[in-house]
Structures are given as structure tokens and as C-alpha cells.
């Protein structure tokens, strides 16, 4: 992975994904001619795959694993604005998913090895609201206290 920040590395993927998520604004005439998209003839020089970040481990500033990326949220403009990080637990027990801003993740690289880190404490993650993925709606929702 390049040593650019995660936000920069994912900008291309988010921009490309945005075309698939774009909706016609309610005040736009649906019959108006729309611009036809032309395929790209070359790829951007700096690129990184979003798939390389899914399930990636994330470490704190002391190099202790704090979680693993479960998902990323893309808004209607195609920007990745949140990362769902699975934190806590042991052998699948007590684990929860928390949302963090994409910009809080940092790409680190040393000796040909790269990893993601975040400046956060375990206590902050313990106290963070939990989210669950609703398979029926395909959305992440706040986890209810009884879950």
C-alpha cells in the first residue's frame, strides 16, 4: 500500500463508487438530458484498493491491536465518511462495532510493511456507541441496549 494517508488512498475509490450511488435530486427534471460517462483510458497514478482495507487490523499509537475494519460508509456524493471498526471482546464474546471518522485513521509504513493506526484509547472505544448491520435494510443502525 502506498504511504499516503488512508483518506487520500481511498479518494479514487470513493469518487468512482459515487457514480453508482448518485440519485436524481427531487427538484431535477428526470426528462432532462444527462451527460454520458466515458470510460477511463488510464488509471490514476496513486491508487489503493478499498478491498485491501476491509478486515484490516487497526493499531493504537503503542502498536497494540484495537480492532478490525468491518465496513465503510459511502455517502450520496461518493465520499467515504465513516469506518466501522470491530473492537473489544475475546474469541467473539463482548465484541462490538463502533463508527469512526475515516480521517482518524493513519497509514504507517516501515521496512516495506504497512499498517493502519488510530490515536484512541481502549476506554474511549469501550464507551463508544455500538452499531449493528441490519441485513434486511442493508444499513448500519445503533445497537439497542438489549442486543
**Each residue's pLDDT tens digit, 1-24:** 444 445 444 544 444 444 444 444
* Cβ–Cβ < 8 Å for 15, 22: no
Higher per-residue pLDDT: 147 or 91? 91
* Cβ–Cβ < 8 Å for 104, 118: yes
The secondary structure element, H or E, covering residue 10 is: helix 6-21
Length of the chain: 147
Spatial neighbors of 35 by CB under 8 A, at least 6 apart, are: none
**Each residue's pLDDT tens digit, 18-76:** 444 444 455 566 677 888 999 999 998 877 788 888 999 999 999 999 999 999 999 99
In the chain, the domains with their CATH numbers are 6-21+44-142 (2.30.30.240)
Could you report how far apart the first and last alpha carbons of the chain are, in Å?
37
Amino acid at each position: 500500500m502506498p504511504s499516503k494517508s488512508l483518506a487520500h488512498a481511498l479518494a479514487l475509490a470513493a469518487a468512482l463508487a459515487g457514480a453508482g450511488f448518485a440519485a436524481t435530486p427531487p427538484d431535477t427534471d428526470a426528462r432532462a438530458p444527462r451527460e454520458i460517462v466515458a470510460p477511463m483510458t488510464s488509471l490514476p497514478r496513486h491508487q489503493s484498493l478499498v478491498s485491501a482495507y476491509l478486515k484490516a487490523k487497526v493499531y493504537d499509537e503503542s502498536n497494540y491491536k484495537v480492532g478490525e475494519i468491518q465496513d465503510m460508509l459511502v455517502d450520496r456524493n461518493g465520499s467515504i465518511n465513516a469506518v466501522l471498526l470491530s473492537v473489544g471482546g475475546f474469541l467473539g464474546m463482548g465484541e462490538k462495532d463502533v463508527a469512526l471518522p475515516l480521517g482518524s485513521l493513519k497509514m504507517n509504513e516501515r521496512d516495506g510493511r504497512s499498517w493502519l493506526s488510530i490515536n484512541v484509547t481502549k476506554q474511549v472505544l469501550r464507551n463508544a456507541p455500538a452499531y449493528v448491520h441490519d441485513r434486511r435494510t442493508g444499513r448500519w443502525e445503533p445497537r439497542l441496549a438489549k442486543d
